[in-house]
Amino acid sequence: MDFNLTEEQEALQKMARKFSEQEIIPYIQEYDDKEEFPWSIIKKMHEVGLMTTAVPEEYGGPGIDMVGQMLVTEELCYGCLGVGATMAASALLAPGPVEVGANHEQKKYFYNMLNEGKLAAFCLTEPGAGSDVAAMSTTARRDGDYYILNGTKQFITNAGVADVYVVFATTDKKLRFKGINGFIVDRHTPGITVGPEEKKMGLRVSDTRQVIFEDVRVPVANRLGAENEGFKICMKALDLSRPSVAAEAVGVAQRAFEEAIKYSKERVAFGQPISNFQAIRFILADMAMEIEAARLLTYKACVQAMKGLPFTHIASYAKCFASDVAMRVTTNAVQVLGGYGYLREYKVEKLMRDAKVMQIYEGTNQIQRVVISGHILK
Ligand code: CAA
């Protein structure tokens, strides 16, 4: 057992932190205020390789391992969750079903898109089916060498900015999980439209919309895996991506922690910095402990996955624990800053707004507890 990062991992972590400090933090408040997608930042991220860390070497990528991918995710989310989540949805979540279920040609097509700087989106959730994936209503009706897709997807990260979608649809809703299929879909296929940008509590720079499919013809060759095997491909992909939500949460929490420390050393009350008071010191100590525990769980989920060991439950521990930690840490950071923490000018207000979504997306924390309790009681 070794808790140290390798030299390459440390270099990657430093590079991503520097990018966050120089290219994200100085500019992001304006994007957040305007609720604007930060194209210029995303393009720079692509140029320096931060949008393709998970592309395997045989498909022209750097083939960075899962721990390395998490280090990048954490550091980008230290800068801004919306930026990190744009990267994670395109570069980690959407590629998941491809990595798990695609053939060589499909991988070549999909990874080429990422290598060219195109974005991807993962289209699973529907207006009436979020936690209950098997209840989805988007249909895939076979018609010769094509499937015809009809239905609506909801809360899709990158919907309006992506060029390629990974879409799940059912051949027969009555079959529940046994009717689901995943497809790689060119976003510009006739019949696909996107809804207006959702107005959100946090994650405001991220592009979130509905995606509507009306008689969209998708070649059978674009189906991932065998017919009706899509549910398990999807679950395995979510197992792989949930640690990245944990890494996002660690990044957001770390930032809030550092902002709270800085403020507590500068702010004077009763004749001394408030960091001298036990009330503040204990809050900071709890933050430090919880962030470190969340980080270690994140790494553990990755190491289990990389070793081919069962990790579904650890991915859920990490996602659930880290996002709960991020919510607590950001809320307490606002408390440490007091009235100033509640002002937009002081960064922790955004961190607290952003943190909430991580307890909800990629499986609510209640669903993570369903997965965990199912595992421990099996
Ligand atoms: N790996 C492999 N197989 C799995 C699996 C896994 N992790 N989980 C389940 N399966 C298999 C089961 O073994 C079972 O197969 P068998 O009968 O052959 O054994 C089959 O799949 C069905 O499993 P369940 O009965 O457990 O399925 P369920 O219908 O009860 O649902 C669930 C399980 C865990 C609740 C699942 O629906 C789920 O994960 N829900 C949350 C969905 C989610 O995370 N959505 C996030 C959307 S993406 C997003 O948020 C990002 C964004 O862009 C905003």
Q: Each residue of 14-70: pLDDT tens digit? A: 999 999 999 999 999 999 999 999 999 999 999 999 999 999 999 999 989 999 999
207-249 pLDDT, tens digit per residue, is: 999 999 999 999 999 999 999 999 999 999 999 999 999 999 9
Q: Do residues 82 and 27 both lie within one domain?
A: yes
Domain assignment present for 62: yes
- For the cut 90, the answer to whether the pLDDT of residue 1 exceeds it is no
Q: Does 303 sit in the ligand 1 pocket, CB within 6 Å? A: no
Residues 369 and 254 in one domain: yes
Is 182 domain-assigned?
yes
Cα-only R_g, the chain:
21
- What's the CA gap between 250 and 322, in Å, rounded? 6
Asked whether residue 1 is assigned to any structural domain, the reply reads no
| Domain final residue, candidates 225, 257, 277 | 225
Q: 369 and 260 share a domain? A: yes
Measure 236 CA to ligand 1 centroid, in angstroms.
8
Strand bridging mode 120-123 / 164-170? parallel
Shortest-distance Cα residue to atom 12 of ligand 1: 232
Burial of 241 (0-12, 13-18, 19+ CB in 10 A): buried
- CATH, residue 209: 2.40.110.10
User: Do 208 and 263 reside in the same domain of the chain?
Assistant: no
Is the beta carbon of 168 within 6 A of some atom in ligand 1? no
Residue 187 lies in a domain: yes
* Same domain flag for 198 and 285: no
Distance 90 CA to ligand 1 centre (A): 21
Pocket flag, ligand 1, residue 158 (CB < 6 Å): no
Q: How far apart are the CA of 192 and the centre of ligand 1, in A?
A: 26
In this prediction, what percent of the chain has a pLDDT beyond 90? 99
Q: Is 205 within the bounds of a domain?
A: yes
Q: Are residues 175 and 95 in the same domain?
A: no
Query: Which ligand 1 atom is nearest residue 360's CA?
Result: 50
Q: pLDDT of 307-322, one tens digit each?
A: 999 999 999 999 999 9
Q: Which atom of ligand 1 is nearest to the CA of 122?
A: 53
CA distance 199 to 80: 17
Chosen domain end from 198, 225, 252: 225
The token pair that represents 337 in the structure block? 């800053």
What's the rounded Cα separation, in Å, for the pair 354 and 347?
A: 11
For residues 215 and 349, membership in a common domain is answered with: no
Strand partners for 213? 151, 192
47 carries an active-site annotation? no
Q: pTM value?
A: 0.97
Task: Check which CATH number belongs to the domain holding 55 and give it.
Answer: 1.10.540.10
Closest atom, ligand 1, to C-alpha of 132: 37
Nearest to 336 by CA among 288, 239, 247, 265: 265
Same domain, 246 and 367: yes
Which pLDDT score is estimated for 187?
98
282 in the same domain as 263? yes
Domain that holds residue 128: 120-225
Concatenate the DSSP letters of all residues of 250-312 into one string: HHHHHHHHHHHHHHHHH-EETTEEGGGSHHHHHHHHHHHHHHHHHHHHHHHHHHHHHTT---H
